[in-house]
Amino acid sequence: MPELPEVETIVRDLNSALKGQIVKNAGFLNTYIKESGDTPSESSLCGLRLITIERRGKNIIFRFENDLSMVVHLKMTGRLLLGKLSPKENKHLHFRIEFNNANLYFYDVRKFGRIGIYNSSELAKHPRLSKLGPEPFDLTPPRFVELFGGRNKPIKIALMDQEIIAGIGNIYADESLFAAGIRPNLKASKINTDRLKKLHKSVIKVLNKAIDNRGSSVDDYLDGFGKSGEFQNLLMAYGRTGEKCKKCKSTIKRIVLGGRSTHYCPRCQK
């Protein structure tokens, strides 16, 4: 479900509500979503202070005292929601933490999401986190060009590759490429430096604008308070197959790349 802007929004919401609180209780209601490889049990969080919550790519990392971290990946339909009261029975509720002043719930209809608890040495070896590429906002234009320049694969596939750059998924790959005027299936190696620099600017602009609008609620995404985002109303390409391009009035086309629906304007994107 969520990509960088959605995860960033959730992390900000949760930090504002939970930072500094003490864990009273924590537990899985369904261990199916427990990440394989995590070792300390969830009960070891009890009594610990939540130092802060961080985002790394699409991953959410809760930092607790005692060198413990909890890693959450929401995948397609996962949600982290705050609540004062216990929700009534919900078959999609899989994990909960009670803090002294609020509760945090993990819901996931499709059960693709994962939660794992690690100490710092285990966290350093985490198979997904340890291989993650740089954060988009940390990249200079030359570094961005270097990262994508020689790649012999469609630029959209490279943009969504978490080991090349972290946090971009299907929506923001399509939107960034629209903003840069680049066809999603163009091989990265065929794009000259100026156009790659333009793409870098577009990625940053699109991600920032999406964060400002609290993410895109196309299907399932809700923020930490259970509210929808607004960026779905501003999408130029994603999900607009057959509709008129907002810039040139041509019809938005759909192709499949890397097994994912890909939307672009054949006139604006070359």
Catalytic annotation, residues: 2-3, 58, 260
Among 61, 157, 177, 268, binds DNA (CB under 7 A): 157
User: How many angstroms separate the CA atoms of 252 and 46, rounded?
Assistant: 52
Interface pattern 226-255 for DNA (x via CB under 7 A): ------------------------------
**No. of H helices and E strands in the chain?**
6, 10
User: How many angstroms separate the CA atoms of 2 and 18, rounded?
Assistant: 21
Among 152, 194, 233, 249, binds DNA (CB under 7 A): 152
Interface pattern 12-51 for DNA (x via CB under 7 A): --------------------x-------------------
Residue 50 tokens read as: 């939540």
Interface pattern 106-145 for DNA (x via CB under 7 A): ---xxxx--------------xx-----------------
Q: What is the residue whose two structure tokens read 């339909």?
A: 77
CB 38 within 8 A of CB 118: yes
State the alpha helices, DSSP H only, in 83-214: 120-124, 141-148, 155-159, 170-180, 193-212
Among 97, 257, 265, 268, binds DNA (CB under 7 A): 257
Residue with smaller CB distance to DNA, 50 or 94: 94
Q: Is 269 in the site for DNA (CB under 7 A)?
A: no
